[in-house]
Amino acid sequence: MNNQEKKVLIKERFQYSTDTIIDQPFNWKQMWRLLSYLKPYVKNLLPLAFLAVIVSAIVRLVAPILIGKYTLDYAIKNNDTRLLTILVSIIAGMYVLSYIANRFRIKWTNQLGQNVIYDLRKHLFTHVQSLSHRFFDQRSAGSILVRIMNDINSLQELFTSGVINLLMDFLLLIGVVVLLFTLSPQLTLAILIIVPIMFFISTSLRKKIRRSWQSVRLKQSKLNSHLNEAIQGIRVTQSYTQEQENIAFFDGVNTENFQSWRNATRRNAMFTPMVEMTNAIGTAILLWYGATLIANETISIGIFVSFAFYLGMFWEPISRLGQVYNQLLIGMASSERIFEFIDEKPIVKDALNPIEVNEMKGKIEFESVEFAYDSKRKALNSVSFTIDAGQTVALVGHTGSGKTTIANLISRFYDVTSGEVRIDGVNIKDISIEKLRSQISVVLQDTFIFSGTIIDNIRFGNPLASDEEVIEAAKAVGADDFIQKLSDGYLTEVEERGNVLSVGERQLISFARTLLANPTIIILDEATASIDTETEIKIQKALKTLLHGRTAIMIAHRLSTIREADNIFVLDHGEIMEQGNHTELMEQRGIYYGLVKAQFQMLEVG
Ligand SMILES: Nc1ncnc2c1ncn2[C@@H]1O[C@H](COP(=O)(O)OP(=O)(O)OP(=O)(O)O)[C@@H](O)[C@H]1O
């Protein structure tokens, strides 16, 4: 395989297609929505920041008049030292006031911005927590991370300085234009001629800048998605010695990210020189035309000096408005992506008046249940069964036959496409989701261990449980032995996903966690696969304790582990083809018989 073919293959291998450019024109509605996050602060931080802004704007607007018109044209011209002293003291006092106002403006606007960012991130995270499994099926963890971190970060500048500076600059701009016209309408008109040219150029830049920042976000999202996957899957990568391919792909997305940044910042940087150019042209007009006006005595030197001050102040807010506009565009691109998530509604949601079931007996019924993950194929097709409270039922069938889907529907991770799932005779759509899930525990083969101590990981099943209750649960499922042998016992720190623990140990921890949660219904998905015989014996013992007095659904490929089940459902292509206990199904000599025989033969061969 040549290098080119290799590159194509690598490019095709990692596909992150979920993030697309959301391209809408500048949207005032969205802007208001973003600004609504300032609402909690309209009574405290916002007015304080506004006050500081108004004070500094007034000082900046009044000072040039005092310096030019009054100091030059009256005090100096008439040699009035008393007036000069008074004016200089007032001007100095005003600058001190402006300094104080500015310090507070920075302090308060920073506080305001940080608070808004905190609130927005909290809102987004809380919302994402409530979203259904389908949402996570369609997106990589990395791309979700980018929205919660990077996109919100990019709004930080807008809220810490942008919004408030915008007000300050508007005030300055309006004030300066009014003062310029008062001082000399002819000179003002001559200078303002350049403004429309400037606006024309900036409008064409606007769209390009906005697109560039959106592209940056997309590239970052792709980079994060790959990074996340590359780290999570490092063991597989290393075992297949695919490190070079991974590095090559990373290099590709990293370069794309680098280029899109460079592109965006280059376009961004075009704004300031443009304003500076206009500033230079304005100054040239001032000098040339202003000198003529002084010569024919239309304006005084003092007015000319005030004018020069104001002209400097005129371009400054315009230049800053350009920057704020850029921040706004960046913010818009990010907020579109943030609001897309916030507007995402959980597909599985509570009924209007959900039933708060506090204690379930655990009878499960499926009536003509159909389900499809996508429109292309059905995962379950007219499935009906009843599991009585306290029964243990095993689901068996070929891979992809729909076993996990049944488990997903009982916990309401997805809603049925048609038909009904009932618990204790009540449609689960009418039961409060929180109550429903609090009575159901799902034990997965790949137990998720959170970073923290072992004791806290077990306590995840019931945050209110005491240390003694946690230890008791661990003892009951036979996890206490190995935990005691760990360096710090129950206080041993384990990293995310519990990489330092064996599969069997992780499973025992999850059993203890489940026992502590004390659910009415337990779903064990492949819980006894891939462990050695000794651990399996331990786990079988633990299971007996765990399942005692509860309704249990076991999904297991190893048929030896489910012989004791009260009932076995045999699935094929999303339908229940056979059901009965082990002896009955063996007598039927159907699919189950075939599966058992095949496994038996495999063991013999092995
Ligand atoms: N999140 C999903 N999105 C789309 N299709 C899915 C999703 N999860 C499962 N499927 C599809 O639905 C069908 C049933 O899957 P399910 O996970 O229920 O099978 P299973 O019997 O549990 O398989 P296994 O024994 O391999 O775990 C399969 O064809 C699978 O590809």
Structure tokens belonging to residue 171: 């005030």
Give the residue, by CA position, lying nearest to ligand 1 atom 18: 402
Question: Angle formed by the axes of helices 503-517 and 467-476, to 10°?
Answer: 120
Query: Phi and psi dihedrals of 14, rounded to 5?
Result: -100, 110
The model's pLDDT over 474-494, given as tens digits with 9 standing for 90+, comes to 988 888 888 988 888 889 888
Structure tokens belonging to residue 205: 């830049």
Average the pLDDT over each of 241-250, 324-333, 372-381 and give the range with the smallest value. 324-333
Q: How far apart are CA 106 and CA 164, in angstroms?
A: 10
Q: Is the pLDDT of residue 384 over 90?
A: yes
Mean pLDDT of 81-97: 87
Residue 403, beta-bridge partner list: none
* 298 in Cβ contact with 184 (< 8 Å): yes
Give the residue, by CA position, lying nearest to ligand 1 atom 4: 373
Residue 43 buriedness (CB in 10 A; 0-12 / 13-18 / 19+): exposed
Q: Is the pLDDT of residue 278 over 60?
A: yes
Q: Which residue has the higher pLDDT, 208 or 89?
A: 89
Mean pLDDT of 295-311: 83
* Ligand 1 atom nearest 374 alpha carbon: 4
The model's pLDDT over 185-216, given as tens digits with 9 standing for 90+, comes to 888 888 888 777 777 777 777 677 777 877 88
Q: In Å, what is the CA distance from 436 to each residue of 301, 338, 430, 498?
A: 82, 30, 10, 28
Confidence of residue 127 (pLDDT cuts 50, 70, 90): very high
Mean pLDDT of 539-562: 80
Expressed in angstroms and rounded, the spacing between residue 526 Cα and the centre of ligand 1 is 13
Q: 138 CB under 6 A from ligand 1?
A: no
Mean pLDDT of 164-188: 84
Q: Is the pLDDT of residue 469 over 80?
A: yes
**What is the β-pairing status of strands 521-525 and 380-387?**
unpaired
Give the pLDDT confidence score for residue 18 in this predicted structure.
46
Please give the span between the terminal C-alpha atoms of the chain, in angstroms, as a whole number. 37
Q: 170 CB under 6 A from ligand 1?
A: no
Q: How far apart are CA 510 and CA 442, in angstroms?
A: 9
This prediction has a pTM of 0.73
Q: Is the pLDDT of residue 349 over 90?
A: no
Mean pLDDT of 494-498: 69
Give the pLDDT confidence score for residue 525 in this predicted structure.
80
**What is the β-pairing status of strands 418-423 and 567-572?**
unpaired
Q: How far apart are CA 364 and CA 383, in angstroms?
A: 13
Give the pLDDT confidence score for residue 221 in this predicted structure.
77
Confidence of residue 17 (pLDDT cuts 50, 70, 90): very low
* 151 in Cβ contact with 214 (< 8 Å): no
Give the pLDDT confidence score for residue 155 in this predicted structure.
85
| Candidate of 366, 401, 415 to mutate for ligand 1, largest count of ligand atoms within 8 Å of Cβ | 401
Side-chain half-sphere CA neighbours of 543 within 13 A: 25
Query: Phi and psi dihedrals of 188, rounded to 5?
Result: -60, -50
Give the residue, by CA position, lying nearest to ligand 1 atom 7: 373
Q: Which residue has the higher pLDDT, 2 or 90?
A: 90
Expressed in angstroms and rounded, the spacing between residue 378 Cα and the centre of ligand 1 is 10
Q: Is the pLDDT of residue 19 over 80?
A: no
Structure tokens belonging to residue 116: 């808004």
Expressed in angstroms and rounded, the spacing between residue 348 Cα and the centre of ligand 1 is 19
Q: Which residue has the higher pLDDT, 527 or 326?
A: 326
Q: 411 CB under 6 A from ligand 1?
A: no
Q: How far apart are CA 133 and CA 537, in angstroms?
A: 34
Mean pLDDT of 584-591: 89
Confidence of residue 606 (pLDDT cuts 50, 70, 90): very low
Nearest Cα to Cα of residue 164 among 94, 98, 100, 107: 107
Query: Phi and psi dihedrals of 382, rounded to 5?
Result: 45, 65
Confidence of residue 314 (pLDDT cuts 50, 70, 90): confident
Give the pLDDT confidence score for residue 226 in this predicted structure.
84
Confidence of residue 1 (pLDDT cuts 50, 70, 90): low
* Ligand 1 atom nearest 406 alpha carbon: 18
Q: 147 CB under 6 A from ligand 1?
A: no
Domains of the chain: 28-342 (1.20.1560.10), 348-439+521-538+550-606 (3.40.50.300), 442-518 (3.40.50.300)
Expressed in angstroms and rounded, the spacing between residue 278 Cα and the centre of ligand 1 is 63
Structure tokens belonging to residue 292: 């003529």
Q: Is the pLDDT of residue 23 over 70?
A: no
Q: Is the pLDDT of residue 259 over 90?
A: yes
* Ligand 1 atom nearest 137 alpha carbon: 1
Give the pLDDT confidence score for residue 198 in this predicted structure.
72
Residue 284 buriedness (CB in 10 A; 0-12 / 13-18 / 19+): exposed
**Complex confidence, ipTM:** 0.95
Q: Is the pLDDT of residue 165 over 70?
A: yes
Grouping H, G, I as helix, E, B as strand and the rest as coil, residue 532 is coil
The model's pLDDT over 28-65, given as tens digits with 9 standing for 90+, comes to 888 889 889 989 998 888 888 888 888 888 888 888 88
* Ligand 1 atom nearest 408 alpha carbon: 18
**Could you count the other beta carbons within 10 Å of the beta carbon of residue 40?**
13
Expressed in angstroms and rounded, the spacing between residue 586 Cα and the centre of ligand 1 is 26
Q: Where are the alpha helices (DSSP H) in 343-432?
A: 403-410
* 117 in Cβ contact with 156 (< 8 Å): yes
3-state helix, strand, coil in the chain (%, to 5): 65, 10, 25
Amino acid identity of residue 510, one-letter, is S
- Helix or strand (DSSP H, E) at 218: helix 194-232
Q: How far apart are CA 84 and CA 75, in angstroms?
A: 5
Give the pLDDT confidence score for residue 5 in this predicted structure.
61
Q: Is the pLDDT of residue 605 over 60?
A: no
Q: Which residue has the higher pLDDT, 16 or 204?
A: 204
Give the pLDDT confidence score for residue 527 in this predicted structure.
53
